[in-house]
Amino acid sequence: MASIFGHAVVGFTLTKLLSNKNLKLLSCLAIASTILPDIDVLAFNFGIPYEHSFGHRGFTHSILFAIHWATLLMFIFGEQNKKLWWLVIFLCTVSHGVLDAMTSGGRGVGFFIPFYNERFFFPFREIVVSPIGIGKFFSEWGMKVIFSEFKYILIPCFLILLVKFLNSKFK
């Protein structure tokens, strides 16, 4: 998986790309939605194996989960612009699996669970997989994760936001 930081950067970027308004609640929930799919690591504590549809990178990383999560938050919080809320939350939640499918480790992402239990990686797998657990993150492995996310997530997101900013200033 990508780290919590890499996922959060993508959530922030997607929110700023899709909305010119300063919607703090939407931004916070969007960032949380990029992180939420990894709640499935708790499955290990209940003896649910990685390969199970409710195991790590399973249902909570699926497109169906993102649809349901976005719909739920849209109805709870999206009073003014339901379409914007749904789109931002959906894309942020789906982005989690997309980033994980570009990492160097794990067993793939179950994008189509529960309809199809196969797990997938993308051909581009240059993001160093983040260790599970905070203790392992503060190690040489964690530094490799930070460097790869800086290169493949932070810099591209910064450039995207810079282009958006410059485009809005020089219109």
pLDDT of residue 170: 86
Give the closest residue to 13 by CA, choosing from 1, 31, 25, 35.
Answer: 31
Q: How many domains does the chain have?
A: 1
pTM: 0.92
pLDDT band of 149, cuts 50, 70, 90:
very high
Give the pLDDT confidence score for residue 140 in this predicted structure: 81
Q: How far is CA 19 from CA 11, 22, 60, in A?
A: 12, 8, 25
Peptide bond before residue 156 is cis, with ω within 30 degrees of 0: no
Tokens linked to 83: 């379409």
pLDDT for the residue numbered 96: 97
Q: Residues 35-93: pLDDT tens digits?
A: 999 999 999 999 999 999 999 999 999 999 999 999 999 999 987 889 999 999 999 99
Is the pLDDT higher at 125 or at 141? 125
**Domain ranges, residue 36:** 4-169
